[in-house]
Protein backbone atom coordinates (compact mmCIF):
# COMPACT_ATOMS: atom_id res chain seq x y z
CA UNK A 1 0.00 0.00 0.00
CA UNK A 2 2.90 2.33 0.75
CA UNK A 3 4.04 1.98 -2.84
CA UNK A 4 1.03 4.04 -3.84
CA UNK A 5 2.32 7.03 -1.85
CA UNK A 6 4.55 8.55 -4.52
CA UNK A 7 4.13 12.09 -5.84
CA UNK A 8 1.96 10.95 -8.80
CA UNK A 9 0.08 8.81 -6.27
CA UNK A 10 -0.58 11.78 -3.98
CA UNK A 11 -1.73 13.88 -6.93
CA UNK A 12 -4.08 11.07 -8.03
CA UNK A 13 -5.34 10.74 -4.44
CA UNK A 14 -6.13 14.49 -4.37
CA UNK A 15 -7.91 14.21 -7.73
CA UNK A 16 -10.09 11.35 -6.45
CA UNK A 17 -10.67 13.10 -3.12
CA UNK A 18 -11.98 16.27 -4.78
CA UNK A 19 -14.07 14.43 -7.37
CA UNK A 20 -15.61 12.10 -4.74
CA UNK A 21 -16.36 15.13 -2.54
CA UNK A 22 -18.33 16.54 -5.48
CA UNK A 23 -20.13 13.26 -6.22
CA UNK A 24 -21.16 12.98 -2.56
CA UNK A 25 -22.66 16.49 -2.65
CA UNK A 26 -24.62 15.70 -5.82
CA UNK A 27 -25.84 12.32 -4.51
CA UNK A 28 -26.78 13.81 -1.12
CA UNK A 29 -28.69 16.68 -2.73
CA UNK A 30 -30.58 14.43 -5.16
CA UNK A 31 -31.50 11.95 -2.41
CA UNK A 32 -32.35 14.48 0.31
CA UNK A 33 -29.54 13.32 2.60
CA UNK A 34 -29.36 16.72 4.29
CA UNK A 35 -26.92 15.45 6.89
CA UNK A 36 -24.27 15.14 4.18
CA UNK A 37 -24.79 18.55 2.60
CA UNK A 38 -22.16 21.22 3.15
CA UNK A 39 -24.64 24.01 2.35
CA UNK A 40 -28.37 23.93 3.09
CA UNK A 41 -29.52 24.81 -0.43
CA UNK A 42 -29.91 21.71 -2.61
CA UNK A 43 -29.41 23.53 -5.91
CA UNK A 44 -26.23 25.16 -4.62
CA UNK A 45 -25.02 21.76 -3.39
CA UNK A 46 -25.47 20.25 -6.85
CA UNK A 47 -23.65 23.21 -8.36
CA UNK A 48 -20.77 22.83 -5.87
CA UNK A 49 -20.67 19.11 -6.67
CA UNK A 50 -20.49 19.67 -10.42
CA UNK A 51 -17.78 22.32 -10.00
CA UNK A 52 -15.75 19.97 -7.77
CA UNK A 53 -16.03 16.99 -10.15
CA UNK A 54 -15.34 19.02 -13.31
CA UNK A 55 -12.61 21.02 -11.58
CA UNK A 56 -10.88 17.87 -10.33
CA UNK A 57 -10.83 16.35 -13.83
CA UNK A 58 -9.62 19.55 -15.51
CA UNK A 59 -6.94 20.06 -12.82
CA UNK A 60 -5.68 16.48 -13.16
CA UNK A 61 -5.83 16.63 -16.95
CA UNK A 62 -3.73 19.80 -17.00
CA UNK A 63 -1.28 18.66 -14.34
CA UNK A 64 -0.57 15.35 -16.07
CA UNK A 65 -0.41 16.83 -19.57
CA UNK A 66 -3.55 15.07 -20.75
CA UNK A 67 -3.01 12.07 -18.43
CA UNK A 68 0.30 11.28 -20.15
CA UNK A 69 2.34 11.88 -16.97
CA UNK A 70 -0.12 10.18 -14.62
CA UNK A 71 1.73 6.83 -14.43
CA UNK A 72 -0.36 5.02 -11.83
CA UNK A 73 -0.59 1.25 -12.16
CA UNK A 74 -3.97 -0.49 -12.10
CA UNK A 75 -3.65 -1.91 -8.58
CA UNK A 76 -2.37 1.39 -7.20
CA UNK A 77 -5.30 3.12 -8.85
CA UNK A 78 -7.72 0.84 -7.02
CA UNK A 79 -6.10 1.41 -3.63
CA UNK A 80 -5.86 5.16 -4.13
CA UNK A 81 -9.46 5.35 -5.30
CA UNK A 82 -10.60 3.56 -2.16
CA UNK A 83 -8.46 5.82 0.06
CA UNK A 84 -9.45 9.01 -1.75
CA UNK A 85 -13.18 8.33 -1.74
CA UNK A 86 -13.10 7.18 1.92
CA UNK A 87 -11.26 10.38 2.89
CA UNK A 88 -13.85 12.41 0.96
CA UNK A 89 -16.67 10.69 2.86
CA UNK A 90 -14.96 11.26 6.21
CA UNK A 91 -14.33 14.94 5.46
CA UNK A 92 -17.93 15.35 4.25
CA UNK A 93 -19.28 13.85 7.49
CA UNK A 94 -17.04 16.06 9.64
CA UNK A 95 -17.58 19.29 7.70
CA UNK A 96 -21.36 18.82 7.39
CA UNK A 97 -21.55 18.16 11.15
CA UNK A 98 -19.44 21.24 11.91
CA UNK A 99 -21.25 23.57 9.50
CA UNK A 100 -24.68 22.55 10.81
CA UNK A 101 -23.84 21.90 14.46
CA UNK A 102 -26.71 24.14 15.56
CA UNK A 103 -29.33 22.51 13.33
CA UNK A 104 -32.43 21.68 15.36
CA UNK A 105 -32.49 18.01 16.24
CA UNK A 106 -35.68 16.06 15.73
CA UNK A 107 -37.12 14.31 18.78
CA UNK A 108 -35.31 11.20 19.91
CA UNK A 109 -36.18 8.50 17.42
CA UNK A 110 -35.05 5.17 16.09
CA UNK A 111 -32.48 5.88 13.38
CA UNK A 112 -31.90 3.47 10.56
CA UNK A 113 -29.04 3.41 8.05
CA UNK A 114 -28.54 6.32 5.69
CA UNK A 115 -32.12 7.48 6.28
CA UNK A 116 -30.94 8.92 9.59
CA UNK A 117 -28.89 11.44 7.60
CA UNK A 118 -32.03 12.83 5.98
CA UNK A 119 -32.77 14.95 9.04
CA UNK A 120 -29.62 14.92 11.15
CA UNK A 121 -25.90 15.40 10.71
CA UNK A 122 -23.63 12.46 11.40
CA UNK A 123 -22.59 13.92 14.75
CA UNK A 124 -26.26 14.27 15.77
CA UNK A 125 -26.96 10.69 14.69
CA UNK A 126 -24.08 9.46 16.85
CA UNK A 127 -25.39 11.48 19.80
CA UNK A 128 -28.90 10.06 19.39
CA UNK A 129 -27.45 6.57 19.23
CA UNK A 130 -25.33 7.06 22.34
CA UNK A 131 -28.26 8.57 24.26
CA UNK A 132 -30.45 5.66 23.22
CA UNK A 133 -27.86 3.21 24.46
CA UNK A 134 -27.49 5.08 27.75
CA UNK A 135 -31.28 5.03 28.25
CA UNK A 136 -31.39 1.34 27.44
CA UNK A 137 -28.70 0.69 30.02
CA UNK A 138 -30.51 2.72 32.65
CA UNK A 139 -33.85 0.98 32.12
CA UNK A 140 -32.35 -2.48 32.01
CA UNK A 141 -30.70 -2.10 35.47
CA UNK A 142 -32.45 -4.33 38.03
CA UNK A 143 -34.19 -2.32 40.81
CA UNK A 144 -32.38 -2.25 44.14
CA UNK A 145 -34.06 -4.36 46.79
CA UNK A 146 -35.00 -2.58 50.01
CA UNK A 147 -34.73 -4.37 53.26
89 binds other proteins (CB under 8 A): yes
Q: List the Cα angle 119/122/126 in 5-degree steps.
A: 105
CB proximity list for 6: less than 8 A, separation 6 or greater = none
Binding residue for other proteins (CB under 8 A) from 8, 14, 26, 123? 26
Binding residue for other proteins (CB under 8 A) from 101, 108, 115, 134? 115
CB proximity list for 31: less than 8 A, separation 6 or greater = none
Q: For binding to other proteins (CB under 8 A), which residues are involved? A: 15-16, 19-20, 23-24, 26-28, 30-31, 33, 36, 53, 57, 60-61, 64, 66-68, 70, 72, 74-75, 77-78, 81, 85, 89, 111-117, 122, 125
Amino acid sequence: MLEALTLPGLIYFTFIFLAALGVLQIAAALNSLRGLLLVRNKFLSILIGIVLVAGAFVWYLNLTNGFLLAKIEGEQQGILFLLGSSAALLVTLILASLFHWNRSMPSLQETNGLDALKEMTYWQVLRVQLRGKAREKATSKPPKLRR
